[in-house]
A = this chain, B = another copy of it.
Amino acid sequence: MAQQQAQVKFTAVKPQLMVKTPKAVDAVNFYKSAFGAVEAGRSACCPPPTAEQNLPNILCAQLELAGCSFVVYNDDSAPQKIEGIGNQLCLETDDVEAAISKAVSAGAVVEGEVTEGGGACCRGRVGKVKDPYGYVWLICSPSNKCAPVEA
């Protein structure tokens, strides 16, 4: 078992963003418009629906952005209003203000001011927007401007 465990390799890490059914289509369009995400595929439904289920038009879609993938999916159990706890997503860009402006044009809402060093792992410029589905995105200048230290 130890040897088997040592061989475990992961090929992808994908945040999964649940949105209240049936808003996944809207959310996909928002992430394309706001952040320039590219749709890599979508699935109609899995696991297979029961006859009684009133199907949303898509179950989920995989989006690609800055070399990473994330998944948007309909979930009946998704809360209408997501509290700002747990994880949030950070997007790095050289032009924080332009990125925020574009996101706002697509329907996001700015949260607070752009600050210097306000991000958890970022000493550069950091702004924050909330998307129409309740998720908070940090818009940061690249974190290689951070100064790592020994703990």
* A binding-site residues for B, Cβ under 8 Å: 1, 4-5, 7-18, 25, 35-36, 41-44, 46-48, 57-62, 65-68, 70-71, 73, 75, 78-79, 82-83, 85-95, 98-99, 101-102, 105, 115, 117-123, 134-135, 138, 142-143, 146-149, 151
Contacts and interface: CB of A to CB of B under 8 A. Distances in A.
Given A93-B8, A102-B8, A66 B149 contact: no
Contacts of A138: 16
B120 A60 contact: yes
A35 B101 CA distance: 37
A47 B114 CA distance: 13
Nearest to A137: B13
8 contacts: A5-B98, A5-B105, A10-B65, A13-B15, A15-B90, A25-B151, A46-B117, A47-B118
Number of copies: 2
A117 B35 CA distance: 29
A15 B57 contact: no
Nearest to A17: B87
A147 B60 CA distance: 12
Contacts of A8: 36, 93, 95, 98-99, 102
Contact of A16 (B1, B89, B118): B89
Contact of A11 (B7, B15, B93, B147): B93
Given A89-B16, A90-B16, A10 B25 contact: no
